[in-house]
Amino acid sequence: MLTRPEYNDLTIGIVALQGSFAKHAYSMGRLGIKSRAIRTAADLKLIDALILPGGESTTMTLLLENENLWEPLADALEILPVFGTCAGAILLGNQLEDDRVRCFNKINYTAERNAYGRQVESFSTALVVPYLLDQDFHAIFIRAPKFRDIGDDVQTLAVYGSTPVLMRQGQVLAAAFHPELTEDSGIHKYFVDHIVLKSR
């Protein structure tokens, strides 16, 4: 894949406390885009966008608080584009009733955790992503959330059955599945081309 010249000076920060952060870095690397692991507030400097990876939302909340990263990250999200997958998408939504999970309220929906079942009920499916990708996307769902109370300001980009699984609101992109676990960087490329670069 040829690297776009616009990618040369981009750095995407990937929150790297728990979850599939290394796979997101690999997805960006396939596009020729630099990434930076975010583990401290200082790591948030000199990045152009953020990725909140999949993992376990209660554990991610605890780690972000224990590492004194919650408030700096919330401040960064006021400015930077962000892509959240699975647990990351949960944290980007509106506050849950479960007070073990703290949310950033950056995209107008509320998540239902583990809505498709537990780990043993994980599955993959060919997902049609109209207008974004030229071919179906092999989507992997692992303890995936569903999203309810979706606001009118949220754009649905893909559905599984009739359930929205890829959504955008302004500079925020959220996926219920794990695009980083495939060899297809198409959704990461959409995030960079249509959200990150257009926000500069």
Residues labelled catalytic: 86, 178, 180
Q: Where are the alpha helices (DSSP H) in 37-131?
A: 57-66, 70-77, 87-92
Give the tokens for residue 90: 């949960």
Q: Give the chain's largest Cα–Cα span.
A: 45
Give the tokens for residue 95: 């506050």
Give the tokens for residue 87: 């647990």
Strands (E) located in the chain:
11-15, 34-38, 49-52, 82-85, 110-112, 123-127, 137-141, 146-148, 155-160, 163-169, 172-175
Taking the C-alpha atoms of residue 191 and residue 200, their distance in angstroms, rounded to an integer, is 13
Taking the C-alpha atoms of residue 105 and residue 174, their distance in angstroms, rounded to an integer, is 12
Question: Closest Cα partner for 83 from 159, 8, 194, 2?
Answer: 194
